[in-house]
Amino acid sequence: MDNRISITDLKAKKKLGERIVMMTCYDYPAARILEDAGVDILFIGDTLGMVVLGYDTTIPVTMDEMLHHTKAVVRGSSRAHVLADMPFMSYQASSEEALRNAGRLLKEGGAQSVKLEGGVRVADTVRFIVEAGIPVMGHIGLTPQSINQLGGYKVQGKTPATAVRLVNDAAALEQAGAYAVVLECVPAQLARTISERLTIPTIGIGAGPHCDGQVQVFHDLLGLFDSFVPRHAKRYTKLGAEIARAVRAYAAEVREGTFPTEKESFMLDKAVFSETARIA
């Protein structure tokens, strides 16, 4: 019997006033750690392209890469809801292609739902996927797959016209059957308005404290990178520095000959060793 958190559970949290905890997750050990820590949604975001695979943007990420990482997260978890991102050009060409790719993330990857970017313009595609029995989370505001069109990673909805557009986008996604919506880099007042108008949960990232849940990138939260920290991210530890310290200590011991010691070595029984030495 599947005991994972369902979309029904997630929607109920909004009605009960319980905040949803969502984090990006890209592999088996991270899935085990995050689930044990009580994270509700393990999100295999296409951010893996940047923080795991070293791409400059999320755009190069492929379906095969998403499937590879989704399978690992599923194997590392048993309770959390597993949400998989639909990468660039896996859903834009047609609703039929979007459905096939969403189906792969559930059937082959083992995810329980998928996420795609866009509002009004993708509403028909969202409806098509949902009607086929696949739960969909929407994503509006800063949509990284449209970075070339947006002209950079900028806060969205800062003018009356763009704010109204985001409100309409959120409403269109709810009407199309999305079970939740990510609001990325949206002014806090606007995110609050959208959250209050929707009956489905909003998940914020750089959208203030009034969303129904929050999502953060694993590597940002744990301080694994020093080169860039987004304004919306909070470092809860500096794990990158701790890892470097541990590796430097290991390297020093190897070079000094103090690792491994007898404690980390396997030994032959003395009689066996003597017999071996005699034969050799």
The residues that are catalytic are 184
Cα distance between residue 84 and residue 73, in whole Å: 10
93 C-beta neighbours (distance < 10 Å), count: 11
Q: Which residues pair with 216 in a beta bridge?
A: 23
Distance (Å) of CA 73 to CA 20, 67, 154, 202, 278: 19, 10, 30, 23, 52
Query: Which DSSP string corresponds to 84-121?
Result: EEPPTTSSSS-HHHHHHHHHHHHHTT--SEEE--BSGG
What distance in Å separates the CA atoms of residue 129 and residue 267, rounded to the nearest whole number?
59
Q: Are residues 197 and 14 in contact, defined by beta-carbon separation less than 8 angstroms?
A: no
